[in-house]
Amino acid sequence: MVETIQWIDDAVVMIDQTKLPLEETYVTCRTYEEVARAIRDMIIRGAPAIGVAAAMGVALGVLHAGERDLDRQVETICATLAATRPTAVNLFWAIDRMKRLYASLRGAAPAEVRRRMVEEALRVREEDIAICREIGRNGAPLVPDHKTVLTHCNAGALATAGYGTALGVIRAAIESGKTVDVFADETRPFLQGARLTVWELQQDHIPTTLITDNMAGHFLKSGRIGCVVVGADRIAANGDVANKVGTYSVAVLAKENNVPFFVAAPISTLDLTLESGDAIPIEQRAAAEVTHVYGRQMAPTGTAVQNPAFDVTPARYVSGIITERGVARAPYEESLRKLMG
Ligand code: MRU
């Protein structure tokens, strides 16, 4: 399995997801600023992976911080990392977790603070892998045998510390003996499906077919697709799901064609402080991602562009939310609260 993010010799090493699938190269971040840049530039992406990177970024920042006025430095480190991407709540969840640990270490010797912060970041990574395995175990029974699973974007090993959420469910279904193949939406404009999902499933020899996003309706109508499984960047208290732009269209088409639409995500993706998906901040990205493909201009110079990176799928389209603690079903206000504990 691919190593998405590791802590090696007091540095954070990530596979460069902007270069896949043509090049398998690794980026080494030695400062928290470099980690922040890697998140912003999408060298690492996917909600859980962003959370792990942020935790390691905070640890790296504390490791290299001077001993004077450490509190203020920690504030700056956390604020810098928090300003990278707005939608995936795992980023803020991980930073808060690191902040809470730091606050609990008040009065401890500086060397002890540094050691404990690094240990915690490594724990966030290890836990993420275990959580993905649990999500897989809980989701595998929902995947129909001898059918195709449609997915959108990349919610795989590359989007987590390993194994994946949506792709973890597919992996677990196959490990449980089911015969499953995958249709991957290419996921314009950043092409996470074409570049990342297809690449990582090929590494695991999972039969995968690439389709363009606008083909999803055609195949959902065909009877070939047994279910849709996608990841999430933030889930509101009512079960509305923010995920990669295009997810909403897939969900509506799935419902229209009576195909179950599942969301696989860790509990850290729940944001029960938000009543509905309307309050989820949606990242707007550069126009060039839409007007250009691989650096080549496709649209007339000066074209007006909108480029929201995520959309919100209303809870009524979601057949179930698969977490490490079980599968939540509608009404989500109750089921998600119960899972949250
Ligand atoms: O912009 P990205 O590539 O970070 O968006 C990723 C997604 O939308 C994923 O589906 C989501 O983060 C879940 S990853 C397990």
All structural domains of the chain: 5-133 (1.20.120.420), 138-340 (3.40.50.10470)
pLDDT at 1 over 90: no
Question: If you average pLDDT over residues 270-292, what whole number do you get?
Answer: 98
Which tokens belong to 216? 């999803």
Q: Tell me: pLDDT of 4 over 90.
A: yes
Structure confidence at residue 150 (pLDDT):
99
The C-alpha atoms of residue 44 and residue 93 are separated, in whole angstroms, by: 17
Residue with tokens 């897939």: 250
Banded pLDDT at 62 (limits 50, 70, 90): very high
| Dihedral in degrees, nearest 10, Cα atoms 295, 49, 83, 100 | -170
**pLDDT, tens only, 172-222:** 999 999 999 999 999 999 999 999 999 999 999 999 999 999 999 999 999
Q: Which of 292, 50, 30, 32 is nearest to 159 (CA)?
A: 50
CA of 104 from ligand 1 middle (Å) equals 32
Mean pLDDT, range 107-134, rounded to an integer: 97
Q: How far away, in angstroms, is 133 Cα from ligand 1 center?
A: 18
Q: What residues are in contact with ligand 1 under a 6 Å CB criterion?
A: 45-48, 88, 153, 155, 159-160, 165, 192, 231-233, 243-244, 309
What are residue 218's phi and psi, to 5 degrees? -55, -45
Q: Above pLDDT 70, what percent of the chain?
A: 100
Q: How far is the CA of 160 from the centre of ligand 1 (A)?
A: 9
Mean predicted lDDT score pLDDT of the chain: 98
Nearest protein Cα to ligand 1, atom 10: 231
233 has catalytic annotation: yes
Q: For position 137, what pLDDT does the model report?
A: 98
Residue 27 has pLDDT above 90, yes or no: yes
Mean pLDDT for 33-42 is 98
Mean pLDDT of 24-37: 98
Q: Mean pLDDT, to the nearest integer, of 290-294?
A: 95
How large is the average pLDDT for residues 33-38? 98
**CA–CA dist 92, 269 (Å, integer):** 10
pLDDT at 42: 98
Give 67's pLDDT tier (boundaries 50, 70, 90).
confident
Q: Which residue is associated with the tokens 């007007």?
A: 291
The pTM assigned to this predicted structure is 0.98
